[in-house]
Structure 1
Amino acid sequence: MRQPNLFSLSRKEGWRRFVDAPPRRRPEPLTRARIAALSAEAAEDYNDSRDDWHANFGVVQTPQLAAVHAELEQIVASNRQDGDRIRSAAVIDALPGLGKTTTANLYGRDFDRKQMRRLGPVTEAGHERIPVFRVGLTSNTTLRTLNRMICEFYGHPATNRANAATLASHALDCVLSCETQLGIIDDVHFIDLDRRDGLAVSNHLKWLANELPVTFVYVGVGLAERRFFADGLTGKNVVLAQTARRWTRLEVASFRLDTDQGRRHWRSLIKATERQLVLADHQPGMLVDLAAYLFERTTGHIGSYFTLLMRGCYRAIRTGTEALTRDLLDGIRLDEASEQARKQLTAALAHGHLTVKM
């Protein structure tokens, strides 16, 4: 039985496990007869391996992910300014459940792998090379906690008692010593620009961008609506905001059924994921036949889509159904946003206002 792969991407050790992990091995698809012939212990282990696979079978290269990665590649590749110049930053801004964090992490992983391949694991000065750092903000992030989180990622020993300014200096030392080139800061929507602490953290992000010779990739929900690019300013003061001039906003869209291209992308996603299923009775095309139903259940949000499939595979295995059918999926409850939107989508699909047909 495989042990849980527990780690945190907010520590360099966890990030390295994420970056260096080999592709998972897909369990061998077995027929019902072969599954029935397994001993109780062997069947339990086989089902456990299938649960693990369905929860982690890899990344589907969606058009949204490919588009954002292409933009990030352009931004990072053009940020080769010397240390006295300001680098532009990227911000992935979208609604929940559209894969923002996954998109940023996967780009960071690819970037890290390329840097390690080209430059090696040790710098010329003999320090550990850490091409990427990644932290996630909390609802009560302050200047000190932000600096501490960056230092904790690197494992800096002086993080408990130091003040905000000292921690900022330590963070700069870590970035320079480890020759870090990319910094991912997730959940920036937790910064409340209506609070004094929130404005201080927002301003500190600009200081970090000025002082740390890295390209920053920020990830957040509804940042434009929160006036984040206006630095919380209003009226004539908006022209004084720096964020809108320094950050390139990248959106992640949900899947849509109101265009031929949107319908084609949705069906391609289903085909790609269907090939990964390890269920005894599931045949190619069974999931594609449910394309309209799957959109109705998930409103085109990839996070909800994969949650439905993962829970459906678990239930298909445990109930002996060994296939994803509409009856089985109907018994699975999803996030509340999907459940609430389902009624409207059901009506639109039933009256032909939306369709998955080409």
Structure 2
Amino acid sequence: MVQFILPEQVPDRETFEGWTRWRLTRHSFIPAPRISSDEYELMRPREQQLHDLHRAATHANLPMQDTPMSNELTRVMRARLQNNALKLKPNTRAGLMITGGGFQGKTETACEIAAAFEDSWLDLHNHLNPNAIPGTRDLHVPVAYVQTPVTAKPKSTCQAILDFYGAEHKNMTLPQLTRQVRASLHDHGTRVLILDDITRLKMHRADDQDTLDLLRAFMSMNTTLVLIGVDIPRSGLLRAGKYDKHTGDWIFPPPSANLGDRKETQTERRFKLIHLEPFRYHTAAGIAAWTNHLDGLQQSLRLFASPPDMLTGGRMPEYLFRRTNGVVGLLELLVEEACTEAIATGTETITEQLLDSIALNLGDVPGRPRIDNEIPDVPSSAPPKRRRSRPRNTVFDDRGLPPDSDSEHAPNVAS
């Protein structure tokens, strides 16, 4: 049992070996078995300890669920990767930009789609590079995943790409690095190049503009460029855009007659922008989608006293939405901590009272260096205060005769 509970070293997806290990093992985690509280009581103390540890690992590794938003991203990205990979023309391959707020699952969704594409691509070619030079045994790397350097410059970006392949780049000039990247993309048969945290590029810096020009040049190498970042439309990578809630697209103003060849318009024309949004709770369809997501999440939990509608009954869906603003990453973090508290206190269920005691703090979340807008605002656990209404003006109300008035002085209503 222990080998399924205790995780090994987390794969570093920024190297070919780490990406491959993650791709091959991404669905291998086995959750804790479902047992009753009576079966749990029959276990020896050591067995109970191991089962609790397995339950904690299950709650810490909740499976990624499909959402209406991720399904749309899957549909668009899968079609673009496949179509670009099958093209024989030497023209520029159209890319993708995936944007959205922090904790929306942009990276995990994109990596899952890319990994599924690589699985099918390798199976199609019997795990061999169809474009390999005769007599060589270059690694076949259909997908490369790279983090944009914190201080992005053309040289550091090239070095980050080459580090994924494990290629040598010491003391190389920028032209040499560029040629080496082109050679690596070609020799390894790379069809997809994912650059995460692309909004680290700041377009007011000349080096960052040169880096974006460099990335556009890589698109002519039969490689689909996938850029992932927070709030891309307002980052400067594209001209200022406006989000259309009705169509779900970002609308860009038409370029002026003398701006037809500007770099911004070239980037805009070469990329399709996909916005990964949080859940909405103002329509019947949005509420139903949110409730279905909560139901799927509850199926993965291992609590002994959880009713079938623990997350979906009563006011709980509305409560969870208020606590997370419909952000899937915040929801998983809140539920994970709630499960830990439920097991530690012996309540073995999630209630509003228990959730009220949990305050989400994202300031110390381990992982990548924080960038602008990456950490979303976390709603308070306290219920929203009701707005006090102003008292009614009673100056002109008729209160009748005073109680101590003499009845003989009262008007004769009958007369």
Does the alignment reach a TM-score above 0.5?
yes
Tell whether the 8 Å contact from 2:359 to 2:380 is kept in structure 1 after alignment.
no
Which of the residues 311, 336, 339 maps onto 2:378? 339
SS of alignment partner, residue 135 of structure 1 = strand
- The aligned counterpart of 1:356 is none
Tell whether the 8 Å contact from 1:186 to 1:218 is kept in structure 2 after alignment.
yes
1:144 aligns with 2:131: no
- The aligned counterpart of 2:13 is 9
| 1:310–1:4 CA distance, 2 compared to 1 (3 A) | farther
Which of the residues 177, 182, 192 maps onto 2:187? 177
SS of alignment partner, residue 311 of structure 1 = helix
Q: Spell out, residue by residue over 1:232-289, the C-alpha distance to the aligned partner (whole angstroms, 9 max, x if none).
A: xx99675412111111000111111111111111001001111111111112111112
1:81 aligns with 2:87: yes
Which of the residues 314, 321, 334 maps onto 1:295? 321
Which of the residues 69, 74, 77 maps onto 2:74? 69
Which of the residues 214, 219, 229 maps onto 2:223? 214
Deviation at 1:115, TM superposition (A): 0.8
Task: Tell me whether 319-328 or 249-258 shows the greater mean CA deviation.
Answer: 319-328
Alpha-carbon separation, structure 2, partners of 1:11 and 1:310: 29
Tell whether the 8 Å contact from 1:298 to 1:342 is kept in structure 2 after alignment.
no
SS of alignment partner, residue 378 of structure 2 = helix
Deviation at 1:5, TM superposition (A): 4.1
Q: Spell out, residue by residue over 1:147-197, the C-alpha distance to the aligned partner (whole angstroms, 9 max, x if none).
A: 1111111111x1333233222222222222221111111100100111122
Task: Tell me whether 219-228 or 330-339 shows the greater mean CA deviation.
Answer: 330-339
Deviation at 1:338, TM superposition (A): 4.5
Alpha-carbon separation, structure 1, partners of 2:40 and 2:326: 34
Alpha-carbon separation, structure 1, partners of 2:129 and 2:216: 27
Tell whether the 8 Å contact from 1:131 to 1:180 is kept in structure 2 after alignment.
yes
| 1:133–1:150 CA distance, 2 compared to 1 (3 A) | same
- The aligned counterpart of 2:109 is 103
| 1:120–1:318 CA distance, 2 compared to 1 (3 A) | farther
| 1:277–1:207 CA distance, 2 compared to 1 (3 A) | same
Alpha-carbon separation, structure 2, partners of 1:341 and 1:204: 43
| 1:164–1:49 CA distance, 2 compared to 1 (3 A) | farther
1:43 is aligned with what amino acid?
Answer: Q
Which of the residues 342, 352, 369 maps onto 1:326? 352
Alpha-carbon separation, structure 2, partners of 1:136 and 1:238: 32
Q: Spell out, residue by residue over 1:281-332, the C-alpha distance to the aligned partner (whole angstroms, 9 max, x if none).
A: 1121111121011001000011101111111112222222211222222111
1:189 aligns with 2:199: yes
**Structure number with higher helix proportion:** 1
Alpha-carbon separation, structure 2, partners of 1:185 and 1:160: 22
RMSD: 2.3
Deviation at 1:34, TM superposition (A): 2.9
The normalised TM-score by structure 1 is 0.89
| 1:341–1:225 CA distance, 2 compared to 1 (3 A) | farther
2:353 is aligned with what amino acid?
Answer: D
Q: Which has the larger radius of gyration?
A: 2
Tell whether the 8 Å contact from 2:358 to 2:381 is kept in structure 1 after alignment.
no
Alpha-carbon separation, structure 2, partners of 1:259 and 1:71: 25
Tell whether the 8 Å contact from 1:12 to 1:154 is kept in structure 2 after alignment.
yes
Tell whether the 8 Å contact from 1:137 to 1:146 is kept in structure 2 after alignment.
yes
Q: Spell out, residue by residue over 1:192-215, the C-alpha distance to the aligned partner (whole angstroms, 9 max, x if none).
A: 1111221111111112223x2111
1:271 aligns with 2:295: yes
- The aligned counterpart of 1:131 is 142
- The aligned counterpart of 1:19 is 23
| 1:163–1:292 CA distance, 2 compared to 1 (3 A) | same
- The aligned counterpart of 1:280 is 304
> Identity of counterpart residues, as a percentage?
22
Tell whether the 8 Å contact from 1:183 to 1:215 is kept in structure 2 after alignment.
yes
Tell whether the 8 Å contact from 1:54 to 1:277 is kept in structure 2 after alignment.
yes
Tell whether the 8 Å contact from 2:149 to 2:156 is kept in structure 1 after alignment.
no
SS of alignment partner, residue 293 of structure 2 = helix
Gaps of 5+ in 1: 349-358
The normalised TM-score by structure 2 is 0.77
Alpha-carbon separation, structure 1, partners of 2:92 and 2:202: 25
Task: Tell me whether 30-39 or 95-104 shows the greater mean CA deviation.
Answer: 30-39
Gaps of 5+ in 2: 241-252, 363-375, 387-415
- The aligned counterpart of 1:42 is 47
